[in-house]
Amino acid sequence: MSADTIALNQRMNRFDGQPQVWLFGYGSLIWKTEFPFIERRRATIRNWSRRFWQGSHDHRGTPDSPGRVLTLVPDHGSVCAGMGYLITPEVFDHLDHREKNGYLRHVVELRFDDHSVDNGLIYIADENNAAYLGPASDEEIARQIDRSTGPSGDNRDYLFHLADALRELGEVDVHVFAIERHLRGLHAA
C-alpha cells in the first residue's frame, strides 16, 4: 500500500450521514489538535498499544531521513488512554491530509471516564503501508528520533510533548517513557 492514504480514507463511509463522530487521539492528537471540535474528553480503547513503529516522511522527518511516530499495534488485554474529540464530518479532509502517511481510518469503541461507550474513528498505520518501519530497540528508536527533523519540527519535540501530555492524563506508557529516557540520556552524555 502507498504511504499516501488520503484517497483510501475518503472512500470510508461508515459514519456517512451522521452530523457528528467521535475521533480517538493517541499520539499528537492528544496535544496538537489544529482542528475544530465540539467536545473533548479523556477516553480509552482496549486491546491496542502505542508503538513508535511508523515512519514520518512528511511531518517529523523527510523521505531520506524519516522520523518515527506512533501507531497502534494489537495487544490483547491492554488499555490505551488518549483523548476523544467529537467532530463534524467536515473535519475529515483536514485529518485525512494530516494522517496521510500510511494511516487508515478504523472504527473503534471508545470508553469514557463516566463509563459511557461509543463508536468512533481512529487512524492506524499497520505493517502493510510503505512508511511502516516496524519494531526496533528503545535505544535505536531514540537515536532515530534524535536525528530526525521535518516540516512539522524536530521529531524529539513530538516525543517530549507526547510524554508530557500522557503525564498530564496520569498515564504511564512504558514504551514511550523508555524511549524518552534514552533520548534524554543521549543529551546528558
pLDDT tens track of the chain, all 189 residues?
A: 456 765 665 667 666 678 899 999 999 999 999 999 999 999 999 999 999 999 998 889 998 999 999 999 999 999 999 999 999 988 988 998 888 888 989 999 999 999 999 999 999 999 999 999 999 999 999 999 999 999 999 999 999 999 999 999 999 999 999 999 999 998 876
Give the sign of the dihedral formed by CA 6, CA 8, CA 9, CA 15.
positive
**Could you tell me which of 87, 91, 95 has the C-alpha nearest to residue 28?**
95
Which residues, at least 6 apart from 52, have a Cβ–Cβ distance to it below 8 Å?
A: 68, 69, 70, 141, 145, 159, 175, 176, 179
Exactly one of 34, 39, 90, 99 is catalytic; name it. Answer: 99
Which pLDDT score is estimated for 10? 66
CATH topology of domain 6-188: Hypothetical upf0131 protein ytfp (3.10.490)
139 catalytic? Reply is: no
The answer to whether the predicted template modeling score (pTM) of the entire model surpasses 0.85 is yes
CB atoms within 10 A of CB 11: 7
Q: How far apart are CA 132 and CA 135, in angstroms?
A: 9
Residue 183 · residue 161 · CB < 8 Å: no
Q: How far apart are CA 91 and CA 121, in angstroms?
A: 12
Runs of H (alpha helix) within 46-173? 92-98, 138-147, 155-169
Residue 83 · residue 40 · CB < 8 Å: yes
Q: How far apart are CA 41 and CA 43, in angstroms?
A: 6
Q: What are phi and psi of 170, to 5 degrees?
A: 80, 25
